[in-house]
Structure 1
């Protein structure tokens, strides 16, 4: 009896010290799909780009890892995903961009982190040993005069006027695609030539001035919804990939010219015309001036003009000379 009690006491001591991790071993490790099912409602509330996460998960992550437990997914498994995507092509037959590959890894990393935060999992993440693809985030796109002319000619004849208006308004304002999706008629101030951006990327709501040409695009639209550019059944639009792809092809633009390139073209045009980078920063609603600095190389004329004027500005004029001599 004494031996039994001593053994029981020893086992209890080992459990306290963690030598017998009975509770942990009995704890069920969730599958990636189980974490995803909890993640999706959270993402809809906290992420503007949740629809992209859903698309990528269903296409790339669920088929590979959906039924695997979190502790069954290895670093090697993830490296294989990276390699497969590098060798693979998208539905347009083009290689996957580094940003697309990185997005898969970011989603996985977030699922592991949230699983631990939500006390669903207390193991290691295989992403800790994975190197993320490096991206060139300073890519700056703009249209040549010929490309812009062809685009406008195609838009002039394009039968779907809502798509035409969407592209023209983006071209004339430099607004992000997501900002256009959320735009309502209540956000348009025709009298003061202002557009209110609700919850723009990285900041609070604000009003930005727009050109008469931009407002002219909106005046020609038929109001069918509270949204300026509505989607199906008058609801908020969530995608413009199809129309943009067809119009881009009809205009003979490069296959890799993104819709976001219209925003770059807007900014590049202003900078090349000599407008101050701070002005462009405000119109683009960049929170960090470093983001706008990518356009600095496009304004050599402004730099040259400033250099030429610097001599005069730094030389006292005749009146100043008289004043200094009399003093």
Structure 2
């Protein structure tokens, strides 16, 4: 049992009948008095569990966000959705939100706010998860209203690989604070979330390594830095512990969708997602002759089968492959071909994908 504060609101936290209950109360004194009254009722056996069906959306949103910070690595994406959800559902009780209300939210976001269907789907996913957590925490005992709401059908995504000219244009058109992130993404294959979470103490300039600690697989990995990445990172002004920061708030970057899309538009590379920079990086490493095992480790794939999609057979590569066989089995002088053995891959220098020229 106890009293705690979230932003400007005080909550009481207690257990009864094996269930945890948290209620928002006004001031700290009110919360202390309310908790004392609850304790007395519980001791006398007079407390009756009423549930949390009276909790408001904005009150639970604060509690939900605190839950995410502890239990979900990608909680910043949900935080972005909450910024849109809270103004719409704000003072509504969780128990009063119906599929019809959610359909109204979809309509407003699509036609008034001019938001992409994919973004609305992320908001709906956040809302669905929010109700599930409310039930898990015994803050809500009704049905999840999102289960009766249809998500928008999204366009089938096609992987796009940038060529050198396109990547140069993209970097040139990007805002100054976004340029370094794009360069590092192209030259390391790091995911967007990994870049957002990158801290200065994760960068070893002496040994030229980046240590990626918060990964999708849950396992830390280290990525060698080429000279371009090292130089790019050294030129970033250190605002706080995170490498990539919001130029206005100086906080850790959490969303770059709009500035990235604007840069893509100006660079004439439509339908490009930030994740395509990772695909581009992987493709250039594979076509540049880097073995799949090494590429897989750099990308942090848990299964090398995931890396196989970047091995695109080309007519030229196929012809070279059979020419190797002809050099061995054809007439004339035989060329010695090295037998492949299982061994520790040798370190090899890989030229940066992008240059400063």
Same-fold call, TM cutoff 0.5: yes
Shift in Å, 1:311:
5.2
For the 8 Å contact 1:274–1:299, the answer to whether it is kept is no
Shift in Å, 1:121:
1.9
Q: Distance in 1 between matches of 2:224 and 2:298?
A: 8
**What residue number does 1:65 align with?**
89
Q: Give unpaired runs (5+ residues) of structure 1.
A: 1-22, 320-327
**What residue number does 2:198 align with?**
183
Q: Distance in 2 between matches of 1:134 and 1:189?
A: 44
Q: Distance in 1 between matches of 2:53 and 2:110?
A: 34
Give me the CA root mean square deviation.
3.8
Q: Give unpaired runs (5+ residues) of structure 2.
A: 1-47, 335-357
Q: Distance in 2 between matches of 1:114 and 1:241?
A: 27
Kindly indicate which of the two structures has a greater share of residues assigned to helix: 1
**What residue number does 1:124 align with?**
143
Which residue of the other structure, out of 92, 106, 116, is the alignment partner of 1:96?
Answer: 116
For the 8 Å contact 1:109–1:127, the answer to whether it is kept is yes
Kindly indicate which of the two structures has a greater share of residues assigned to strand: 2
Structure 1 residues 33 and 306 mapped into 2: Cα distance closer, same or farther (>3 Å)? farther
Shift in Å, 1:195:
1.0
Shift in Å, 1:301:
5.1
Which string of whole-angstrom CA distances, capped at 9 and with x for unpartnered residues, describes residues 33-59 of structure 1?
Answer: 332231111122233433332332232
Q: Distance in 1 between matches of 2:259 and 2:111?
A: 28
Q: Which has the larger radius of gyration?
A: 1
Structure 1 residues 79 and 221 mapped into 2: Cα distance closer, same or farther (>3 Å)? closer
Structure 1 residues 137 and 45 mapped into 2: Cα distance closer, same or farther (>3 Å)? farther
For the 8 Å contact 1:88–1:96, the answer to whether it is kept is no
For the 8 Å contact 2:52–2:139, the answer to whether it is kept is no
TM-score w.r.t. length of structure 1: 0.69
**What residue number does 2:167 align with?**
148
Q: Distance in 1 between matches of 2:59 and 2:208?
A: 49
Which residue of the other structure, out of 284, 287, 301, is the alignment partner of 1:286?
Answer: 301
1:308 aligns with 2:328: no
TM-score w.r.t. length of structure 2: 0.64
Q: Aligned residues, how many? A: 285
Shift in Å, 1:308:
1.9
